[in-house]
Amino acid sequence: MEAIPLITPLDTDTVRRLRAGDRVTMSGVIYTARDAAHKRMIEAVEAGRPLPFPLEGQVIYYVGPAPAPPGWAVGPAGPTTSGRMDPYTPKLLELGLKGMIGKGTRSGKVIGAMERYEAVYFGAVGGAAALIAKSVIKTELVAYEDLGPEAIYRFTVSKLPLTVLIDSLGNNLYAQGPKVYRR
């Protein structure tokens, strides 16, 4: 099966067509944020302050990238465990976030919000941080510089290899995959 090419930002029609297990390549702009940045974004929303970037159609990659070696846009940039963002994710989905990239399972509340707001959760391969970094062609600091590698960055990516882990219908590769191998 050939990978499905995606260009960000994502629209609802594109998200609706994706299914758990689909292999994709993502190109365009994505944003990085981990739990500390998510907490600050929710605090901003609750205080009526603007977010550091518009969420509509955007994709957030759960990563704290390493410093870039010479000739690279970023250092190793492997995914972090997504469950740490679960307390904040439903609100961001409500505000227009369409995609998340990470590793690991998601809570029922997040999956329910993904179905309600039509969003998708992509998996990046853990342990392949240097390979993933090759897909990042440009980085720019966006917000929360004091968080160091956990600040929000804008990554321009080209053909970032991902797998749809949970689609907008709630189909979950973490649940489906083991069933296939039990047969």
**DSSP 8-state class, residue 13:** H
Query: Which tokens go with 176?
Result: 């489906």
Q: Which residues are catalytic?
A: 38
Angstrom distance (rounded) from CA 18 to CA 77: 24
Q: CA dihedral defined by 69, 28, 15, 58, rounded to 10 degrees?
A: 80
For residue 152, the surrounding DSSP H or E stretch is strand 152-166
Determine contact, residues 21/167, Cβ cutoff 8 Å: no
Place of tokens 């966006």: 142
Place of tokens 């469950």: 83
Cβ of 81: how many Cβ atoms within 10 Å? 14
**DSSP 8-state class, residue 165:** E
Closest CA to 128 of 65, 73, 61, 78: 78
Place of tokens 């846009």: 73
